[in-house]
Homo-oligomer: A and B are copies of this chain.
Amino acid sequence: MAPPTPGNPDFAWMARALELARAGGLRGEVPVGAVIVRDGSVLAESHNRTVERHDPTAHAELVAIRAAARRLGDWRLTDCTLYVTLEPCAQCAGAIVLARIPRLVFGARDPKAGMAGSLDNLVQDPRLNHRVELMDGVLADESSRLLRRFFRARRGKGGQP
């Protein structure tokens, strides 16, 4: 599906996810941001927090899903849309299915680890007990550029690529 244009709510929520991604990058986190929206407002949002929390599972999507479920007092995130600047990995795609999130919008594809269409499509796997409506490519160039700049700067400092 063609990505939405400015003025569209999907574009606005992804712009918010990109702001979070940028904020994460400034704190040394891989710059990925996620926002969970329900009834036109933010239920939960996060950037990656793996460095801050010494937590390999603390990808933006997983942190936001946990916060949203805590806020609702329900593990089922029905009627929610999850916006994330980068295609989810296996862990996060699996968590989206576990939480029964009905709709996922992501920005850039991740050809190395993306599991929502690149390597596999776990969020629409007919063998699992939940399938997700999917849109990709929203602010994809901005998201990719942010990630490229982050990794280039990190290599420049002699960190892990």
Contacts and interface: CB of A to CB of B under 8 A. Distances in A.
By DSSP majority rule, is chain A's interface helix, strand, loop, or mixed? loop
Interface residues of A, number: 40
A57 B89 contact: no
A91 interface: yes
Interface in A39-89: 50-51, 53-57, 59, 62, 65-66, 69-70, 72-77, 89
Interface stretch (A7-15, A95-103, A138-146, A147-155): A95-103
Given A89-B94, A91-B98, A56 B65 contact: yes
A112 B129 CA distance: 8
A132 interface: no
